[in-house]
Structure 1
Amino acid sequence: MDFQTAVRTVLSKYATFNGRASRPEFWWFVLFVFLVNIVTSIVDSVIFGTPLLNSIAALGLLLPQLAVGARRLHDTDRSGWWLLIAFIPLIGWIVLIYFNVQPSQQGDNRFGPQQAA
């Protein structure tokens, strides 16, 4: 899966929390969100002087980020509720990164069939 396909797939499943998301799909979308944040921050600092566009982009991308995060956890046979561990300072993010770099569970699992990478 390439960058464009991953972003298109995640945005087409804007609020779909069921199913599975492959590692490339998840990490390409993380890169996309990072790049959007950089671009909107630059535009905000040059034009507005306040984080107006950055805030709008963050709100617009929040739901797809949560959805692809839950689907990625499903791909490793974990519940999407594991996303809540992010509220534990530092440790929670480390655990989520560890979960998200794990390989996909081969074959079908309780969250659906394996996605093509």
Structure 2
Amino acid sequence: MTSAVLMAVGAIVLVAGWWEVSDRASMESQIPAFNIAVLGLVLIGAGQGLWFLRGRRACSDRRRLLLGADAAPAVISAAVEDTDSFAGTERFYHRLDCAMVDDRDWAPSPRATHERVGRTPCGVCAP
């Protein structure tokens, strides 16, 4: 909301500065109005910067939620045997019923294989 307000106010200030510049004939009389228009551009840029940073923060929060970087460790209710099959990427291994595995053609393999190559457990399914 703050970024939208900043951009709207900046647009109004920019248009007001442009209107005043277009009404004046000499360069010396246009400078104060031109400075107002530049202030409008600065406000618009600040609003867009805040909007961009909020989007980055939202993406970062979503990534942490999906990958479980900040999540507390899941309580394992039953012992998982090494004979169970898990699917893996370059960094993580997952249970076969994990949402991160859906629609992927990853070959299942034992947990020991994934741990041997240095993969870490998924933060979503907590294998």
TM-score of the two chains, using structure 2 as the length reference: 0.33
Structure exhibiting the larger radius of gyration computed from Cα positions: 2
